[in-house]
A = this chain, B = another copy of it.
Amino acid sequence: MTDQDDDITRHNSKMAKKKAARDRIMSTKTEEKGLIIVHTGKGKGKSSAAFGMVFRCIAHGLPSAVVQFIKGGLSTGERDLIMATFSDICAFHTMGEGFTWETQDKERDIAAATAAWEKAKELIRDSNNRLVLLDEINIAMRYGYIDTSEVIDFLKAEKPAMTHVVLTGRNASDELIEIADLVTEMTLIKHPFRSGIKAQIGVEF
């Protein structure tokens, strides 16, 4: 047996052990339920990764819905393509008027966020929807445009058992993280804006 053969045998046996351990762990995971999922942090990808879940539902033929609380999370490209291609299986509502520093009108922002939250409740209550994405809702809660406790109480009391609800945006509150099942923080390690690169098609929009 050569050294290389020996190395390969060792690797394969290590991987077989890993697989056995993984299979053992997976066999204990039997419960299925609708999750409360949070994507937060200052990094990119919070909305896109959530959108990936919507896309997976579409791929599996499962109804889903998106409510955009503030424009700018999901790109208009993604929104337009969903609306053009998959509107029969994915409802898409844009209620926000743009980021709050674009509008400079607190009353209008509150009215838009409140309308978005009313629509969100209606979509979550409809148990045909397997997944409802509340895009950038964390920002609306953070600014106090909608009440965090009301959102949390509603999810605890009225979310159908099998429905996934995904809440995205920076600064997710501790109370929301507390009731969530799956929380991912996107952390910015390096950003080209710092080197004078502008927002670009395909990356930012």
Contact = CB atoms under 8 A, between A and B. Distances in A.
Most buried by B among A15, A131, A184, A201: A184
Contact of A201 (B60, B195, B199): B60
Given A35-B197, A45-B45, A85-B85, A164 B56 contact: no
A47 B197 CA distance: 23
A89 to B, nearest CB: 11
Given A85-B85, A202-B164, A189 B197 contact: no
A105 to B, nearest CB: 6
How many copies of the chain does the oligomer comprise? 2
Interface in A150-172: 164
B44 A48 contact: no
A103 B15 contact: yes
A148 to B, nearest CB: 18
A31 B196 contact: yes
Contacts of A119: none
Contacts of A196: 28-31
A19 B106 contact: no
Given A41-B187, A185-B43, A58 B81 contact: yes
A177 B198 contact: no
A115 interface: no
Interface of A: 8, 11-12, 15-16, 18-19, 22, 25-26, 28-33, 35, 37-39, 41, 43-53, 55-60, 62, 64, 75, 77-78, 80-81, 85, 100-107, 130-131, 164, 177, 180-193, 195-203, 205
